[in-house]
Each structure stands twice: as structure tokens, then as C-alpha cells.
Amino acid sequence: MSKPNFQLPEPSGKYCVLSYPAPGVLLVRLNRPKDLNCINQEGHTELDQIWSWLDAEPTLNAGIITGTGRAFCAGADLKEWNSMNSENRSRPMPPSGFGALSRRNGRKPIIAAVNGLAYGGGTEIIVNCDMVVAAKKATFALPEVKRGVVAVAGALPRIVRTIGRPRAMEMALTGRTVPAQEAFEWGLINKVVGDGDGEVVAAAVEYAKMIAENSPDAVIVSREGIKMGWEGVGAEEGSRLLIENWYPRLVAGDNIKEGLRAFVEKRKPQWKAAKL
């Protein structure tokens, strides 16, 4: 597919390769295969710029993140981390956190296409994504305890809401590797596909295309409603916040009118870029 005509400048990539496999879909490929796609400090900043652009660019509706080579992401760059500790230097991180996802306050959904091992920060990335597709060969782990560190990029308080306390404790306290099929049975991921990198990306693209076909306004507000429950807001409080803060903006927009009109007229809706 040829590159779309963007309204905002496309960010440059040193550690990531950007492509556009379907209308409205951004594919971000981590591209440090020799380092198992671990993310260094520059990489976090680059991803922060990419995800910020995804949210701001009107022609894009959803993002996908995957890896190059045999790894999805092996987590933090421990060599860089060790060097910084030796030199008593701090490890600056953008406000959006690890991979610009652990504390991301973004609007548009991001899907993880896990092509291989996802360890440490790699697992934290998928916990913070909205949907996850994995190849059969993919594996997941939180091995931080084996290195004397802790998974502080959002996975610990969030993964327990996804897979429950016993399984979350198992991953965090033992550091053992969980294969893709087991992760699927736990509810950590949406779907397991074949072992080819192309297969896992294609499956993620299909999900992203389904999202992109829907009202961008409704997608954003629906995602916010689910996030509030996931982050620990009670059902009544979450519903109140959604109704008071988000629903009026949805109703005031063009897409709700277009969706209802298209239903009555028995045609496909012609969505406009979200302005929420």
C-alpha cells in the first residue's frame, strides 16, 4: 500500500520502521533485532513521538506494534542501564513511560502483534496495549526478579486485573516463561496464529481494519469506558464519568449523526476524523 497523504509530518525513525498496511492503520516495527528489540532511552523518546503522532494524525485510526527477527521485545536495554548505574547517571523516560505505552494517555487503540519472545518490558508493552495477537512460538515472561529489578512499567497492578492474582503472582514472583497458548488460555492475549511473522501481523491488521471501519468517535469513547473499569474505577463511577465527560462530546460530533443516518438510508457510513 502506498503512503497516505498525511496532514501532519510523519516522525522519523531510527529504531522503528513505520508502514501503513491498510487505510487508517499504522504499523510500528521495533528494529533492533541483534539486541532482541530491547528499548533504550532514545527508543522510548522515538516511540513517544510516534504514538503522539498516531493520536494527532486525522487519517489514522489504530496502531500496531511488532518486532523484527526472533523477538518482539526483550524489555529494557540492560547494557545501557548498567552503564548508567556505573556512571551514576539517571535513566530519563518520557512521561508516557516504557515504550511510551505504560503511562500513555492516548486516544486511539494499539494492537500488539507478538512475533517472538516478549520478556520484561516486552510483556509490559502487551499488558498496556488494547489487544494482543501472538504467533504460536511467542513467549511471555516477567523475569525482572531474576535480575534484582522490578517490573514498574504498569504491568504489575494491571496484569492482575487481566489474568487474576494467582497467575499474576506466578509470572511476577517466579519469572517463568509462559508460552502463547497458555497465555491465550489465561486471557492475556486475544488470539494465537501460525509461526510466520507475516501471519501474526496480518491477524493484527484484520483487527485494526475492523476498528478503522467504525466511527472513530465511538471507538475513542468506548475505549475510555473500558479503560476506566480496567484502571479500577467502579462501574457506577465509570459510567458517570463516561456520561458526563465523554458522551456530550460524542453527541455533539458529526459521526454519531452520520452513523444513524447511514443506518436509516441503508448505506455504509462516511466517517470524519475524530475531534474529541
pLDDT digits (tens, 9 = 90+) for 140-187: 999 989 888 888 888 888 899 999 999 999 999 999 999 999 999 999
The residue extents of the domains of the chain are 16-212, 216-265
Q: What is the pLDDT of residues 109-124, one digit of tens each?
A: 999 999 999 999 999 9
Question: Angle at Cα 102 formed by Cα 75 and Cα 47, nearest 5°?
Answer: 70
Among residues 144, 153, 204, 238, which one is catalytic? 144
Among residues 71, 76, 138, 208, which one is catalytic? 76
Q: What are phi and psi of 133, to 5 degrees?
A: -115, 140
Among residues 124, 180, 183, 208, which one is catalytic? 124
Query: Cell triple for residue 7?
Result: 496532514
Q: From 3.90.226.10, 1.10.3720.10, 3.20.20.370, 3.40.50.720, which CATH number describes the 16-212 domain?
A: 3.90.226.10
How many CB atoms are located within 10 Å of the residue 75 CB? 30
User: Is 70 exceeded by the pLDDT of residue 84?
Assistant: no
Q: Does the predicted model carry a pTM greater than 0.75? A: yes
How many CB atoms are located within 10 Å of the residue 218 CB? 17
Among residues 24, 106, 121, 253, which one is catalytic? 121
Q: How many DSSP H helices and E strands does the chain contain?
A: 11, 10
Q: Which parts of 32-115 are beta strand (E)?
A: 62-67, 71-73, 110-114
Give how far Cα 32 sits from Cα of 81, 98, 167, 247, Å.
Answer: 17, 16, 30, 42
62 part of the active site: no
80 part of the active site: no
- For 195-250, give the DSSP string: S-HHHHHHHHHHHHHHHHTS-HHHHHHHHHHHHHHHTT--HHHHHHHIIIIIHHHH
pLDDT at 91: 58
